[in-house]
Amino acid sequence: MARRPVVLVTGASGEMGHGLITRLADLGTFDILALDIRPLDPELSRHCAAIQVGDILDRHLLDRLRSEFEISVVFHLAALLSTRAEFVPETAHEVNVEGTLGLFRLAVEEGRSHGRPVRFLFPSSIAVYGLPDLDTKRKAGRVVEQEWLLPVTMYGCNKLYCEHLGRYFARHYRQLAAQSEGSGLDFRAIRFPGLISAFTVPSGGTSDYAPEMIHAAAQGRHDPRGRPGPPLRLLRARGHTHPVHGDAGRHQRPARPAGRPHGVVDDLGVQRRGLQPERGRAGRAGPPGLRRGRDRLRS
């Protein structure tokens, strides 16, 4: 029996996955196979051709997916995020690195089976950068891609290592084999700043303090986790590019606005100009907690 052609989205119910699946469904070009450790909400599920609840560390699960589906693109969004990763760094390494390695293997096998490279899109992070103190940061000024790659969090270490693994699999995989045919992997990574979403519940990222405050206010409760000290700042990129979904069906490289940083992708469902708690993009309502508390927000 022929396998069903799909694109695979891991971490499908997360902040990026929610917006990405909605956008891919709007394009109407791909059938979506969603993989997450938690069930998807019904609104998101209706956009997917197939849904699998499971762990990216489960190799038997990945083998079964390969037996049922022909995977041409992998959007690997699943991860243990920055704040949570600091409490369980060993587990974070297992999920973020070993999980990614397993998906690289899946992509390599898929590429060889259908004779064309599998595109593997990986959201990295500005957590890969690290400067020792604020004075050094001020003196450094604008940091370019290859500078200050000295992460100070487990999440940043994981992301940087996976960037290198992706480059290895794409360019040097089994390079000493007698007949090296390449890996069949087309790896692409973007270093995102802090991302927040109007449609999902925060899940342990450093920048989640912002949506957590909105959710707490909407539900009429006080969030006691704040503490005295310097203010936390959420990066809001003013420019934007379309490299996550835009290259899924074509190979041109999107232009980057001159003098602008790599930005947050509007089509991932991220509100660049601030959260909209009552109505989301394309008129969709936000999470239940926000809808119930909108009268409180107005007042």
Q: Which of 72-76, 269-273, 284-288 has the highest mean pLDDT?
A: 72-76
Handedness of CA 44, 48, 52, 54 (dihedral sign): negative
Is residue 263 within 8 A of residue 238, CB to CB? The reply is yes
pLDDT tens for each residue of 17-58: 989 999 999 999 999 999 999 999 999 999 999 999 999 999
Domains and CATH numbers, the chain: 4-201+238-287 (3.40.50.720)
Residue 206 has pLDDT above 80, yes or no: no
Please give the residue that has the higher pLDDT: either 173 or 279: 173
Both tokens assigned to 124: 């990295």
Both tokens assigned to 50: 């197939």
Please give the residue that has the higher pLDDT: either 255 or 1: 1
The average pLDDT across 286-290 equals 42
Q: What is the pLDDT of residue 203?
A: 56
Q: Which range is least confidently modeled, 5-9, 258-262, 266-270?
A: 266-270
Beta bridge partners of 51: 34
Beta bridge partners of 35: 10, 52
Q: Residue 250 — very low, low, confident or very high, per pLDDT cuts 50/70/90?
A: very low
Average model confidence (pLDDT) across the chain: 77
- Which helix (H) or strand (E) is 8 found in, with range? strand 4-10
Tell me the C-alpha distance between 104 and 75, whole Å. 11
- Which helix (H) or strand (E) is 16 found in, with range? helix 15-27
- DSSP string for residues in 76-131: E-----HHHHHHSHHHHHIIIIIHHHHHHHHHHHHHHHHTSPEEEEEEEEGGG---
The structure tokens 């379309």 sit at 242
pLDDT tens for each residue of 266-283: 333 333 333 333 333 333
Residue 234 has pLDDT above 60, yes or no: no
Q: What is the pLDDT of residue 219?
A: 76
The average pLDDT across 285-291 equals 41
Is residue 38 within 8 A of residue 13, CB to CB? The reply is yes
Q: What is the pLDDT of residue 199?
A: 65
Beta bridge partners of 6: 71
Q: Residue 207 — very low, low, confident or very high, per pLDDT cuts 50/70/90?
A: low
Tell me the C-alpha distance between 286 and 281, whole Å. 9
Q: Residue 262 — very low, low, confident or very high, per pLDDT cuts 50/70/90?
A: very low
SS3 category, 251: coil
Beta bridge partners of 73: 7, 119
Residue 173 has pLDDT above 80, yes or no: yes
Please give the residue that has the higher pLDDT: either 96 or 228: 96
